């Protein structure tokens, strides 16, 4: 998105005074709305909205070869795309670049062992495991897309249901026998644990802020997206933007991001516990 230098100066000046166009303070999040169980034909689904940013995630579970060093893990892999109705001006960065950036950030975060218990996806060591294909669709973009996508991803993964599967190891030279119970009552939640979410902080002038709007992101010099779990542990960091980082106060800023991640996950847990279709909460 392109904005004029005058607009950039105005946004940066407001940030320096802890004033934002929508009335928020620097470290204040917009309302978070999460919907669950939207697509019955897939294994798991969720939709998250923050401000004007709207992201839909669905998960398809398929059987595939076991992965990992000892063949004891399954796989979580992401594909992402921006809908044609997002309203983004992609003259500078094509939609393919945006898709790749989002995919890379999510795949990188969930490749870390603390992000998800991939061993829980394994059905028969060295042979068969679940592969989770996670599709992320950005329906509308109004800033902070990565964070919002990660909220929907966490909710969708933890609500993913799979049928009971029994794998009988085949004799040497023979294929394994796989029996799938298609009865709805046999389905179980696949993942347990504490998938992280991203919390991004953007630097405008000399001021860091959370949950940047589209105009604020267009004005930023740097952005750090911090992967955080429910205990506030940092699981990964992704940097964007060409500007140099201002190290003064960065430690406190990252701590603020981690604390916000804990609050967001508390809200997402309430969604999971209630199994309600739509839940909104303040960060």
What is the per-residue pLDDT across 110-165, written as a single tens digit (0 to 9) for each? 887 778 889 999 998 888 999 999 999 999 999 999 999 999 999 999 999 999 88
Tell me: pLDDT of 62 over 50: yes
Q: How many residues does the chain have?
A: 283
- Helices then strands (H, E): number in the chain? 5, 15
User: pLDDT digit string (tens) for 226-240?
Assistant: 999 999 999 889 998
CB 132 within 8 A of CB 60: yes
> Looking at the predicted structure, is the pLDDT value of residue 39 above 80?
yes
What's the CATH superfamily of 5-281?
Answer: GHMP Kinase, N-terminal domain (3.30.230.70)
Indicate the pLDDT class of residue 282, thresholds 50, 70 and 90: low
Cβ distance 230 to 115 under 8 Å? Answer: no
- Chain-centre distance for alpha carbon 45: 13
- Give the range among 103-107, 222-226, 237-241, 276-280 with minimum mean pLDDT: 276-280
pLDDT for residue 4: 75
- CA-to-CA distance for 203 and 210, rounded, in angstroms? 9
Domain boundaries, the chain: 5-281
Task: Give residue for tokens 């604020």.
Answer: 216
Distances (CA, A) of 118 to 149, 150, 197: 20, 18, 17
Q: What share of the chain is helix, strand, coil (3-state, %, to 5)?
A: 30, 35, 40
Tokens 């999040």 locate to: 29
DSSP assignment of 29-46:
PPPEEEEE---TTSSEEE
Q: Specify the pLDDT at position 259.
A: 96
Model confidence at 217, in pLDDT bands (50, 70, 90)? very high
């Amino acid at each position: 998105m392109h904005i004029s230098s005058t607009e950039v100066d105005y946004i940066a000046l407001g940030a320096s005074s802890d004033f934002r166009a929508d009335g928020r303070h620097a470290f204040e999040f917009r309302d978070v709305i999460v919907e669950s169980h939207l697509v019955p034909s897939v294994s798991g689904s969720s939709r998250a909205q923050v401000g004007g940013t709207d992201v839909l995630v669905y998960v398809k579970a398929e059987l595939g070869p076991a992965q990992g060093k000892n063949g004891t893990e399954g796989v979580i892999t992401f594909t992402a795309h921006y809908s044609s109705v997002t309203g983004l001006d992609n003259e500078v960065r094509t939609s393919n670049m945006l898709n790749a950036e989002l995919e890379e950030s999510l795949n990188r975060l969930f490749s870390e062992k603390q992000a998800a218990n991939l061993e829980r996806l394994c059905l028969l060591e060295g042979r068969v495991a679940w592969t989770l294909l996670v599709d992320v669709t950005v329906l509308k973009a109004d800033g902070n897309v990565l964070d919002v996508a990660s909220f929907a991803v966490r909710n969708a993964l933890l609500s993913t249901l799979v049928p009971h599967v029994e794998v009988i190891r085949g004799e040497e030279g023979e294929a394994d026998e796989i029996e799938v119970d298609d009865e709805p009552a046999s389905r179980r939640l696949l993942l347990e644990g504490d998938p992280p979410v991203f919390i991004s902080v953007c630097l405008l002038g000399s001021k860091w802020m959370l949950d940047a709007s589209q105009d604020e992101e267009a004005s930023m010099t740097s952005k750090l997206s911090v992967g955080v779990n429910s205990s506030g542990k940092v699981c990964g960091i992704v940097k964007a933007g060409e500007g140099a980082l201002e190290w003064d106060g960065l430690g406190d800023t990252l701590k603020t991001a981690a604390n916000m991640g804990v609050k967001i996950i508390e809200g997402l847990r309430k969604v999971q516990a209630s199994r309600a279709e739509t839940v909104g909460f303040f960060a």
